[in-house]
Amino acid sequence: MRYVNLVKSLANWWLHFAVKFGLTKADPVVFQTRGGVEVEVPRRLMHEFKEVFLEDAYLAGMEAPLPARPIIVDVGANAGFFSLFAASLFPGATVYACEPVPANFQQLTRNRERNGQRDIFCLPMAVCSHDGEVFLNFVLEDNFTTAATIVGNGEGDKGLTVPCVTLATLFKTHGIDRCDLLKLDCEGAEFDILYGCAPEFFSRIERIAMEVHEGPRERHDMQALSAFLELRGFVVRHRGHVLWAWRSTLS
């Protein structure tokens, strides 16, 4: 199925095998999707690229199809691979991509600039349970990172302080009245982000796709998060560490 997705998604799918078998030394590698989107992939991030484009990690279990012109909020956008994947599938999409790590954000911006005709808005900030600033733990020496986290805030010896907003503030600032898809991959912050939202706020979110990072704190597990979303009117499915949720009215 991975290679079916590869050929279905990418016009220059053969470049994947050129990288895999050492037939090109290009770094970064530039893929072209069949939806007319360019994706610049540093070799350091090939694994993350394949998770999105070959494994369809965030949408594979979403049983409620998205509309043709979805409003998408991408929290933990990293280098922008999911934002670009969504923009390729839905040329009329509007994507708000949040990424607080400077090196990741720089690559996200480069990918947005390659696709200036798409409505992708790059926001250099974390999303969490409060507005203001938050300490982000990660290894500063890494060119890119997929492990930056605000969980255990202040306990690490490396990282930096970044601006942060709540989902409610993000929606208000950018005039998002309805979110067709909220994608979360934020290394454990997803619990505080969602648990911190007022119950009525969830009526503005149609679908959620997230990677769940369970932790030792109370209710920081898949079962508790699923029950929380079901109480707010979502149908919930999960496989492995990925959870999908959609409004029951969409079923």
For the residues 103-130, what does the mean pLDDT come to?
Answer: 96
Q: Which pLDDT does position 154 carry in this prediction? A: 47
Find where tokens 């991959």 sit: 185
What is the helix (H) or strand (E) element at residue 155, kind and residue range?
Answer: none
pLDDT band, very low/low/confident/very high, at 138 (cuts 50, 70, 90): confident
For the residues 214-218, what does the mean pLDDT come to?
Answer: 90
Q: Which amino acid makes up residue 15?
A: L
Confidence check: pLDDT of 89 > 60: yes
What is the CB neighbour count within 10 angstroms for residue 61? 16
Q: Residues 4, 16: contact at Cβ < 8 Å?
A: no
Q: List the domains of the chain with CATH numbers.
A: 57-250 (3.40.50.150)
pLDDT in tens, 141-167: 566 666 667 776 544 557 889 999 999
Find where tokens 């932790």 sit: 215
What does the alpha-carbon distance between residue 86 and residue 70 come to, in Å, rounded to a whole number?
9
Give the predicted TM-score (pTM) of the model.
Answer: 0.94
Confidence check: pLDDT of 36 > 80: yes
Q: Residues 9, 39: contact at Cβ < 8 Å?
A: no
Q: What is the DSSP string of 32-87?
A: EBTTS-EEEE-GGGHHHHHHHHTT-TTTTT--SPPPSS-EEEEES-TTSHHHHHHH
Q: Which pLDDT does position 234 carry in this prediction? A: 97
For the residues 85-113, what does the mean pLDDT come to?
Answer: 96
Q: Which pLDDT does position 152 carry in this prediction? A: 65
Written as six digits, the tokens of 145 are 């990172």
pLDDT band, very low/low/confident/very high, at 243 (cuts 50, 70, 90): very high
